[in-house]
Amino acid sequence: MRFHPPHAAAAQRARLGRLTALALGALLLAAGLFAPALSSAAPANAAPDDTEGCSYGTGGPSADTICWLDLSAFSGDAALTGQDMSTQLGNGIRIDFHAKFVKQTQTSGSTSVSDRGIQAVPFPAWEQSLLGTQDYVGTTGKPALYIDREGVPAGWVDAPRESGIIEITDIKVYQNDTAVTSGYSLVMADADRSNRNEGYTWRSDAPIKLIENIPAIGADGTEYPACKAELSGLGTNEVRCLGVSGEAGAVVVAADSPTEVSSAFLTGNPYSSQAVAFGVMFSKVQANKQVDSRYDSADQFTVTTSDEGGVLGTGSTSGDASTATTGGTSIVTTTDGKRITFTESAASDSVDFQHYDTAWQCQANGEAIEPSRVTPSTDGLSVSVDVGVGEFVDCTVTNTAKLGSVSWKKVDPDGTALAGSEWTLTPTGGSPITVVDNGENDTNDAVGDVQVDGLKWGEYSLVETKAPDGHFLSDATSTFTISGDHFVELLGTIENTPGTPGIAVRKDSNPASGSTVEPGQQITYTVTVQNTGDVDLTPATLDDDLSDVLDNASYVDGSAVAGINGVAAAAPVVDTTARTLHWQDALPVGATATLTYTVQVAADVTTDDVLVNVITAKADVPPGFTPPTPNCVEGSTDPACSTTHTPVIPPTPTEPVPPTTTSVPPTTAVPIPPASTPSSPELANTGADLSPTLFVLGALVLAGAGALALGRRRGRQG
């Protein structure tokens, strides 16, 4: 890397590269920018396994399998003669190697520079480096070796020249102290950004392959790859990379199981500097658990990764957690791959895998693995995969409980969907489940369509506990079974019959309404109320307005009684102060209640008075039904709702008058000679012959008439 002042444009960097050594040195010293731009290490990234001497970053190609070596122990001075280094990589893996820095003499004309040093630095080696800012973010330690700069002699002509070589030789890898000769790769990467006349020459005793050419992303989204001037030798033992002016990316290469590698720094002038990073690419395996649903809330699971030597990693669910992972475990494999087994098992006694569907999905470096590479076990609880060099294989097993469902539709006799029903679903030996249409435990939001999911295996019964408004409860009990062979139960339609409440009231009296009544006479009223609908009345209520009765009569105490279908019921309550009669009682379908009570007409009633008795009624019904409208309500003109009686005053009877006797002087009888038999017709006897008798009779008649007239006058006066 040519020394880049922070935030300078590419053209400015190019012009600075052509400055004379003195001018450039003076400028840099004045700006305080002579020292290498070394950033502090990023916050520690928790390693997924027990790595100690290397670190995984986030993002970037093969980020899960490249463990960047922490070269903090590297000494530029010791490396001049060679420095033996050993690094623990986790999972019992260790890498040993010999590091040596070989200084190179850079010559331009008659001028040469040869005393450039080297040091270990963290990511990013430069503030605009891609490694540590765009890719492999969070890598810890000091994975990059940064070549120092020297002053630029006058007259120097830029051209790519080797300014130093770092050699990594005698590479040996061990796992559990056993030498490993294959199954890993040693990675080299541009930890800077190579511009014009900058780059690297990488060499290895094993062919070098490209891991990735990471492009820089311009402000407008344009991608700028690395090594645009030259990227040659891929697949051979020597690869050369040269950059161009302007934006540039970074190249990552690797050699499989080498015993030695080297990286020569190519710089255009002594003040141009570069950085190279070293990492080890192992294979990595990880098992993941995903619980979509639990058959039993206590069910817990364990996942493991293992090889022929035993368990590599393990992880378990707990509580209501739906995921678990073994975490990534580094392994040393072979060119033919290493067989790794991914397994799930029960972590609690409650688990019965018959109650679960089990599905495995495996990926290698983020891409789905071909099914032919995955070998499942006969019970489906494990799969095996041959893991290749540099592969990160993670297999996820998903468990979905084999739970059943039941559904039905609530309709009226015409097939119209009804809303608002409620139910109790009871598993044999289990706790009842409350189900409310479009509410609790109903997973179908359509009106009248009810569905309950998540049913365990067993027998169930279903009963309706609340009917839709205006309808009667269904008396049907539905039973069904959920099992391993039958998960979905369709009950079809369950019908509700609509209800029609009704009430009829009639008021009668004895004597009948419209009759006349006399003072002191008793009137007996009879009220009949009948449930004429098909819904129980809960209750029926009667209110009798006695205002126009008790103004002219008095209630006969204890006379108010009631009966329902001939059986005594709650007696009406008569309030003589408020002048009302009130009665209420439950009235089942078809029942008739009869109320009677008696009043006595007042003695002082007049013919101007009227006794009017008016009855009103109302009825309550069970929830969901509409109360009926009685025929007798306030303001009703129905003649069945009232009675009327008009007082009549009978004539006052008169006392009888004794007859008056008139003395008549005795009369001397005159003998009447016997009549002779006429010998010839004669006229009737008239005149003097009857006068005494007629006189006496006339006198008697006049005397009687006078006595009668005298008696009537006395009666009116009394």
Quick one: three-class SS letters along 577-643?
A: CCCEEEEEEEECCCCEEEEEEEEEECCCCCCCCCEEEEEEEEECCCCCCCCCCCCCCCCCCCHHHEE
Angstrom distance (rounded) from CA 495 to CA 497: 7
Which tokens belong to 217? 């992303």
**Domain 503-647, classified CATH 2.60.40.1530, yes or no:** yes
pLDDT at 546 over 50: yes
Strand partners, 186: 255, 280
pLDDT grade, residue 623 (50/70/90)?
confident
**CATH topology for 283-401?**
Immunoglobulin-like (2.60.40)
283-401 with 404-495: one CATH topology? yes
List pLDDT tens digits, range 548-570: 999 999 999 999 999 999 999 99
Q: Considering only residues 51 and 380, tell me which one the structure prediction assigns the higher pLDDT.
A: 380
Q: Residue 264: CB partners within 8 Å, gap ≥ 6?
A: 104, 162, 164, 165, 200, 201, 202, 203
Q: Looking at residue 518, what is its pLDDT?
A: 95
Q: Looking at residue 670, what is its pLDDT?
A: 46
Q: Looking at residue 28, what is its pLDDT?
A: 29
* Segment 425-430 long-range contacts (CB within 8 Å, at least 24 positions apart): 425/452, 425/460, 425/461, 425/462, 426/460, 426/461, 426/462, 426/463, 427/455, 427/456, 427/458, 427/459, 427/460, 428/458, 428/459, 428/460, 428/461, 429/458, 430/456, 430/458
**CATH topology for 404-495?**
Immunoglobulin-like (2.60.40)
Q: Looking at residue 1, what is its pLDDT?
A: 43
- Element (H or E) spanning 561, and its range? strand 561-564
Strands 161-175 and 178-180: antiparallel
| Burial environment of residue 243 by CB neighbours within 10 A (0 to 12, 13 to 18, 19 or more) | buried
Q: Looking at residue 193, what is its pLDDT?
A: 87
Q: Looking at residue 701, what is its pLDDT?
A: 41
Q: Looking at residue 23, what is its pLDDT?
A: 33
Q: Looking at residue 662, what is its pLDDT?
A: 55
pLDDT grade, residue 689 (50/70/90)?
very low
Find the mean pLDDT for residues 74-98: 94
Q: Looking at residue 229, what is its pLDDT?
A: 81
pLDDT grade, residue 659 (50/70/90)?
low
pTM attached to this predicted model: 0.60
pLDDT at 33 over 60: no
| Every domain of the chain and the residues it spans | 10-281, 283-401, 404-495, 503-647
pLDDT grade, residue 34 (50/70/90)?
very low
CA 170 to chain centre: 62
Question: What's the chain's average pLDDT?
Answer: 85
pLDDT at 146 over 50: yes
Measuring CA to CA, which residue among 426, 276, 294, 413 is closest to residue 347? 294
Angstrom distance (rounded) from CA 72 to CA 140: 10
Q: Looking at residue 663, what is its pLDDT?
A: 54
Angstrom distance (rounded) from CA 28 to CA 34: 5
| Three-state DSSP class for residue 234 | coil
Q: Looking at residue 334, what is its pLDDT?
A: 77
pLDDT grade, residue 657 (50/70/90)?
low
Query: What is the secondary structure of 190-220 as a DSSP string?
Result: ESS---BT-EEEEEESS-EEEEEEEPEE-TT
pLDDT at 660 over 70: no
| Burial environment of residue 386 by CB neighbours within 10 A (0 to 12, 13 to 18, 19 or more) | middle
